[in-house]
Amino acid sequence: MAGVELNLSSPNTPSLRDLREPPAFAELAQRLSDAKDKPSYLKIPPYVDENEFKDTMLLVKKWEDLGFEGVTASNSMRIPDERMAIGTGGYSGPPLIEHTKAAVEKIRKSVDSSFEINAVGGISSPTDAAALLGMGATTVQLFTALVYQGPALVKSIITDPGVRQVIDARSSSTLSEPPPKATKKRG
């Protein structure tokens, strides 16, 4: 096992939402931090408004402050639908792409550049992948598009010149950044 992902974002598991209450989340995250031995990621739900975004960012910042590696943004989007036995379902695929872009852009502004953002939600082309990597995603992940387009989509993304260009630009800017300043010792 290369890493761990904590999924508190399933749209169909109401009890998971209890764990997103700040005190419950703080306790869970602290316990995971104490037991951590692999890179660990928090999978967050999509937000529907600014208040939800603020609530989610409290969890993301806590996760970052505890030294975890990154977040996966985001899960499918909960929607009410009477045709479902439980009265709700979850959107996945292309309807999510604009949300995913906005989430990556906003999260990247609030976290350290070394904090990883794994973008997922509606990515269905090399253009989507390049856009998200350019907006600050560290990695991209596919689910629905893989079902509809098959594994050839992965090849088309990783061999796409636009994707390559974004990754190359990012590596060269990382290399050209000055090394971090030494922290002054007190006393």
Interface ranges with ligand FMN (CB under 6 A): 7, 10, 43, 75-76, 92-93, 96, 120-123, 142-145
What's the rounded Cα separation, in Å, for the pair 73 and 116? Answer: 10
- Least gap, CB of 183 to ligand FMN (angstroms): 37
Does 74 qualify as catalytic in the annotation? no
Cβ atoms of residues 161 and 109 within 8 Å: no
- Least gap, CB of 134 to ligand FMN (angstroms): 18
Q: For residue 153, give the DSSP letter.
A: H
| In the chain, beta strands by DSSP E | 4-7, 40-44, 70-73, 77-80, 88-91, 116-120, 139-141
Going by C-alpha positions, the residue among 153, 121, 125 that lies closest to residue 43 is: 121
Q: Which one of 9, 10, 113, 176 is the catalytic residue?
A: 10
| In 3-130, beta strands by DSSP E | 4-7, 40-44, 70-73, 77-80, 88-91, 116-120
- Least gap, CB of 74 to ligand FMN (angstroms): 7
Q: Can you read off the two tokens belonging to residue 179?
A: 């090394």
CA distances from 159 to 47, 85, 100, 126 (A): 32, 42, 22, 9
- Least gap, CB of 161 to ligand FMN (angstroms): 23
What's the rounded Cα separation, in Å, for the pair 179 and 131? Answer: 27
> Among residues 65 and 98, whose Cβ is nearest to ligand FMN?
98
Active site residues: 10
